Amino acid sequence: MARKIQAIRGMNDILPDQSSVWLYLEKTVAEVVKSYGYQQIRFPIVENTDLFKRGVGETTDIVEKEMYTFEDRNGESLTLRPEGTASCVRAADQAGLLFNQVQRLWYTGPMFRYERPQKGRYRQFHQIGVESFGMATADIDAELIVLSARLWQKLGLLEHVELQLNTIGLASEREAYKAALVDYLTEFKDQLDEDSQRRLSTNPLRILDSKEEATQAILQGAPSLDEFIGEESQSHFERLQTILKANRVPYVINRRLVRGLDYYGKTVFEWVTTHLGAQATVCAGGRYDGLVEQLGGKPTPAVGFAMGIERLVLLLETLSLIPSEAKFSADVFVVSIGDDAEVASTRLAEQLRETLPSLVVLRHCGGGNFKNQMKKADRSEARFTVILGQDEVEQGVCQVKDMSTGEQQTCAFEDLPAYISGNL
C-alpha cells in the first residue's frame, strides 16, 4: 500500500462536524459587521516579505521567528500572511480607497505563523478582521469595541469574556517611556528571562507582557507607562471610556497591555477568557494611525481588531453554546424502488427543495433494496422518510413516514411540501 501523506503539523482540516460551527460563527459575524456598515475585502494570502517586515515590525515575534517565508521561482522573497492588517492596508491603499476617505472594512481567512502548535495555537489558523480608516476620534475606537460586544452577546459569549483596555500613547511618548524602562531594567538584566534580555535592546515594551514570573516580579518596580501618556492620548482614552460606559460595555484597564505588533498607538484592547487556558485572548486590536504612512501611503488614522476563529469555536464548544439550528441535520430522506420511481423521486425531491428551500432533502442514490434504503434513512436521522414505488408513481402519491412516531401515510405529490412544513 502506498504511504499516506499527512497534513502539515499545526495545520488542521476542518471536518464536516466542525464546519457547521464555523459557518454559524461566520454568518453571525457577517450579519453583525454589516449592520455597522462594514464591507468585506479579500486579498491574497501571499505578499512581498517586506510588507510584513515594515508593517508588523522587524523586532516583533511574528517577523523574528514566526513567518513562512520562501523564494518564488524568480528569487523574490514572499511570505504567507501572518496577519491581515498590513495586507488590508496594502490592498486598500493600492486601490486608492484610503486617502481622504472613510472606510469600514472586514475580512476573513487563513493566517500562517510558525509557532509551537498547542490547543488554541496553530500554524495555519483563521482570523476575522475588522478595520476602519480615516477616523481619528475615539468614537470609532468605541464603535469597534461595541460591535465586538454585540457579537459576543449574539453568540452567548458576553458573560464569558472580559475586555481589557489600555492606551500606549503616541510614538514620542512610547520612546520616552522605553528609555526609562530600559534604564530601570538594565540594572536587573541578569535576572530577566532570555527573551526579555534580548528585547531590552530590540523591543523593550514587549517585556511588559512576559509570562515569566521572575521578570514580572522585577517589573513591579518599573516605571509605569501611564506616567508618560500626554494630554492628547489621555483625553482620547477618556472619551473612549465615556462612550463605552454609556453603552454599558464593562472593561478593565490593564496598564501592562502593549500588544505584540509594532503598529499600534493610543488605544489597545483585548477580549480575554478564562476558559481556554494559556491561549486566553480571543480578539485583539487597537489604533494604528502610523501604519498607512509607514507603508508608503498618506497619513491616515486607523483602528481595527482581529479575532481568532479557532479559539472562538473552541469557546463555543466548551460552553455548549452552539444552537441546534446551527448543527447540520437532514429533514427529509427520499427512497425509491424501481426505475420509474427513481426518476419520479428526483422530481419530488426537487419540488420539495423548490418550495421549502431551507429544508435539507437527502435522496438515496445508487439503488439497492428497500430494507437497505430504509436503514440509510434511519441513519440519516432525517425527521421524515418519503417512499416511492411503482404503485405510488402510477397513482401520483408517495408514502411519508414520520421517523419520530413511526406513523406512515399516503400523500399526493402536490400536497407533500405543505404536509412536511406543517408537521416539521
* Residue 349 binding ligand ATP, by CB under 6 A: no
Among 128, 284, 295, 382, binds ligand ATP (CB under 6 A): 284
The residue range among 15-23, 119-127, 158-166, 225-233 that interacts with ligand ATP, by the rule CB under 6 A, is 119-127
Question: CB of 141: closest distance to ligand ATP in angstroms?
Answer: 16
Contacts of 240 (CB under 8 A, 6+ apart): 138, 141, 142, 145, 165, 267
Among 87, 167, 210, 281, binds ligand ATP (CB under 6 A): 281
Cβ-in-10-Å burial (0-12, 13-18, 19+) of 81 comes to buried
* Residue 84 binding ligand ATP, by CB under 6 A: no
* Residue 113 binding ligand ATP, by CB under 6 A: yes
* Residue 282 binding ligand ATP, by CB under 6 A: yes
The residue range among 97-105, 163-171, 249-257, 300-308 that interacts with ligand ATP, by the rule CB under 6 A, is 300-308
Residue type, 141: D
Among 19, 241, 254, 279, binds ligand ATP (CB under 6 A): 279
**What are the cell numbers at 97?**
480607497
* Residue 306 binding ligand ATP, by CB under 6 A: yes
Question: CB of 126: closest distance to ligand ATP in angstroms?
Answer: 8
Q: Which residue is nearest to ligand ATP (CB)?
A: 308
**What are the cell numbers at 34?**
454589516
Among 53, 81, 174, 311, binds ligand ATP (CB under 6 A): 311
* Residue 225 binding ligand ATP, by CB under 6 A: no
Helix axes of 231-246 and 138-155: crossing angle, nearest 10 degrees: 40
One-character DSSP codes across 125-191: EEEEEEEEES--SHHHHHHHHHHHHHHHHHHT-GGG-EEEEEE---HHHHHHHHHHHHHHHHTTGGG
DSSP code of residue 3: P
**Cα–chain center distance at 56:** 19
* Residue 273 binding ligand ATP, by CB under 6 A: no
Question: CB of 283: closest distance to ligand ATP in angstroms?
Answer: 6
- In the region spanning residues 143 to 172, those forming contacts with ligand ATP, defined by CB under 6 A, are none
Question: CB of 368: closest distance to ligand ATP in angstroms?
Answer: 44
Q: If we measure between CA atoms, which residue out of 53, 48, 61 comes closest to residue 91?
A: 48
Nearest residue (CB) to ligand ATP, 53 versus 364: 53
Nearest residue (CB) to ligand ATP, 130 versus 284: 284
Nearest residue (CB) to ligand ATP, 38 versus 384: 38
Question: CB of 284: closest distance to ligand ATP in angstroms?
Answer: 4
User: How far apart are the two ends of the chain, measured CA to CA in Å?
Assistant: 48
Within 13 Å of residue 27, how many CA atoms lie on the same side as its CB?
A: 9
**Count of chain residues binding ligand ATP (CB under 6 A):** 19
Residues 66/90, Cβ–Cβ less than 8 Å: no
Give the Cα separation of 167 and 337 in Å (integer).
70
Among 28, 36, 121, 176, binds ligand ATP (CB under 6 A): 121
Give the Cα separation of 401 and 382 in Å (integer).
10
Which residues are at the interface with ligand ATP (CB under 6 A)?
83, 113, 115, 120-122, 125, 127, 260, 279, 281-284, 306-308, 310-311
